[in-house]
Structure 1
Amino acid sequence: MTWVAWRQHRAQLLLMAAVLLLGVVAVLVLHTSMVQQIQAQGLERCLAVGGQGPGCATGVSDFRDEWFDLLRVGQLVIVVLPVLLGVFSGAPLFAREIEHGTHVLAFAQSVTRVGWMAAKLVMLVVPSLVVLVVLQLLVSSWVADAGLMGPLVDGPFSFLNFESMGWMPAVHLLFGYALGTLLGAVLGRSLPAMISTLAGLVAVRGAVGLAGPALMPSQLRTSADPMSAPESGVDEVVQVGFLGADGRTIPEGGFNAAVCGSRGDVPVSTFDPAQCYAQHGVVGQYAEVVPASYAPILQLIEFGVLGVVAVLLLGGTAWTLRRKH
């Protein structure tokens, strides 16, 4: 059965090997070039202080102009790769067999249907996981060496940072294969299965990205100056607004800050914005944030949920294939 699975999917496996080779070479070359630039331009001291030190502004700005988008592209590849594998490898895995009727021959062999399913899945999932994990480790090291001069400045909850770190790419790969194989087995046609898988994976990614931070407890941070927001750093900001004199929070939109801006009919030298805020009962600003330290916990929660759903989807695939004629 293993030899048959290899013969059926050798083109995909060779393509994965080519992607791995090209990806490794590209990331290593770019990573080395970036590190050499940091050393040549003396940006190590700026890197050590998050790019905020004296005399760092110009160097960090030039560095980001050259490398920020490239680093983002590397992260995007890690995020998109599980989707592509789920669509182009997972969805047609059984749909093509059913569509062409070759599953009847497989069912007539001595191997059980579940054994046939497992052999085909292992033949593709394991190499896919190897490719993804190797590229993820290389990209993560590349991004880490850019520090807060790179995408990490957006915090661990930003979409690309969150989805390209830790166990998230691996669980999304397993989920992509599980959803693709189930839809392929149910629909029995490759193209509809691929389209449905793509739509499903995009919808799940979007829903998880939007709902994720809301699952974590937030903290309230305040400032005593109504013209300056409290420091949030790389934490995820959930809500911002103003503080009333009685300590109540006024969510964004509840107070029109423009009324305390510069007024054309009043000389700037005589207009006092602070007095204006005080007259309206506003004494400061607040920010409701989810600390960056909660990101690994949220990743673990999503890993567990998506992992359980992936197992259930694979169980549904096995049940569907056992009922096929």
Structure 2
Amino acid sequence: MSAATLSAPVRRSLPRPRGLLWTVLRLHRTALWIWLAFVAATAALLLWLLGPGADATQHKLDTFGYAGVLDDAYSAKTLLAFTSGTYNDLFYDPATMINIASFAIALFAGGPLIARELESGTARLAWTQSVSPARWLAAKLVVPASFIVLGMTLLVVLYRQLWSAHSNLLIAGIGPRSIYFAIGPSTVAAPLLGLAIGALAAVALRRTLPALAVAGFGYFLVYAFLGNHWPFQGRHQQPEVSSRSHAITSSGARIADPGCYDSQACLAKHDIVRFTREYLPSPDYWPRQLLETGVLLALTALLVTAAFAVLRRRGTTT
């Protein structure tokens, strides 16, 4: 061996992350980036509503009165140049985005996450290389569930802070619609249920398109049930119940609320420049939320158990 050989530095490559969980992350990295982008965009909207958006709306209320806020359409000068509407409208957009995301998670679990690998035979190949079907499915569920819990928890915390700080800027007399769902722990549990529905559909059907369709329809049925049956009634129950609202005239006098929030003629007739609201706490909000969350998590556990049972019963057959 030459001296040159002896003096040459030994190059050692850094060890690459390995393991089943890392494989799942790498295989579905596009979906992961989409999820992170969704969480970042929704969080940015909530932070804007919590800070600059609320300040601008309060300034308009102080300067122009309520009519000025109702007439406003956010222009290119604002951070939300891509969105038009009032602060009241934008307040509910994150809740809509969260509901759509929960539905998309069910579709993802039923299609690309599990069913596609069962249909293509990729899963069966993994099972022949010291990875049991149960361990394979566990990794497929643990990785997305972790990111779902972290992302949704962040959004719920921000939304609750926004509601607590600036719910007074919403149009008086118009109750929050889906805020009930979006600021409670059921927001975290619902997409986990969607993940479980998609997983069960995938292992039962083992075909991408049928599993995707069944997962989407199954989650839609669950969402419809939550919105129309006690104790959920997510589209009707409010975190706070509006007790009284009053109108303020340009002279500062407080008068009875005439109920003309979007009528310029009515506002001018009564010389209204702003509204005020007083709240009474809703005593059954948290009992309903906790009960709903418990039911969702129990259903999730049952569906996940059923998915493992179906996978074990069918074994590695296609």
TM-score by length of 2: 0.67
Percent identity between matched residues is: 28
Conserved? CA contact 2:175–2:242, under 8 Å? yes
Partner of 1:124: 144
Correspondence list, 1:59-208, <5 A:
61=70, 66-150=86-170, 154-155=174-175, 158=177, 160-208=178-226
Indicate the residue corresponding to 2:40 in structure 1.
Answer: 21
In the alignment, structure 1 residue 210 sits paired with structure 2 residue 228: yes
How far is the alpha carbon of 1:63 from its aligned partner? 7.7
Letter in 1 for 2:282: A
- Report the CA distance between 1:6 and its aligned residue: 2.1
Which letter does structure 2 place at the counterpart of 1:29? Answer: W
Gaps of 5+ in 2: 1-19, 74-84, 234-239, 244-280
Q: Deviations over 1:5-24 (max 9, x none)?
A: 22211221122222233333
> Do 1:171 and 1:303's aligned partners in 2 also have CA atoms closer than 8 Å?
yes
Query: Take 1:121 and 1:161, find their aligned partners in 2: how far apart are those partners?
Result: 28
User: Secondary structure of 1:293's partner?
Assistant: coil
Distance 1:142 1:35, change over 3 A: same
Contact 1:91 1:180 in 2 (8 A): yes
Q: 8 Å contact 1:60–1:149 — kept in the other structure?
A: no
Q: Give, in angstroms, the shift of residue 90 of structure 1.
A: 4.8
Q: In structure 2, what is the equivalent of residue 303 of structure 1? A: 293
Please report how far the alpha carbon of residue 303 of structure 1 lies from its aligned counterpart in structure 2 after TM superposition.
Answer: 1.2
1:317 equivalent in alignment to 2:307 = yes
Gaps of 5+ in 1: 44-54, 216-231, 236-290
**Match for residue 279 of structure 1?**
none
SS at match of 1:307: helix
Q: How far apart, in 2, do the equivalents of 1:116 and 1:293 lie?
A: 44
Instruction: Compute the displacement of 1:66 (Å).
Output: 1.5
AA in 1 matched with 2:97: V
- What is the RMSD of the two structures over their aligned residues, measured on CA atoms? 3.0
**Is 1:6–2:25 an aligned residue pair?**
yes
The alignment covers a number of residue pairs equal to 242
AA paired with 1:321? L
Deviation at 1:58, TM superposition (A): 4.0
Structure 1 residue 138: Cα displacement = 2.4
1:175 positional shift: 0.4
In structure 2, the residue matched to 1:40 is: 59
Q: Is the Cα–Cα contact under 8 Å of residues 168 and 299 in structure 1 kept in the other structure? A: yes
Could you state the TM-score of these two structures normalised by the residue count of structure 1? Answer: 0.65
When residues 148 and 37 of structure 1 are mapped into structure 2, their CA distance, relative to the original with a 3 A threshold, is same
CA 1:188–1:153 in 2, change beyond 3 Å: closer, same or farther?
farther
- Once the two structures are TM-superposed, the CA of residue 297 in structure 1 deviates from its matched residue by 1.0
Compare 172-181 and 200-209 and name the one that shifted more: 200-209
Give the letter aligned to residue 310 of structure 2.
T
Is 1:31 aligned to 2:31, yes or no? Answer: no
Q: Shift in Å at residue 316 of structure 1?
A: 0.7
Letter matched to residue 117 of structure 2: E
CA distance in 2, matches of 1:181, 1:194: 10
Say if 2:49 and 2:91, in contact at 8 Å, map to a contact too: no
Does the 8 Å CA contact 2:148/2:192 hold for their aligned counterparts? no
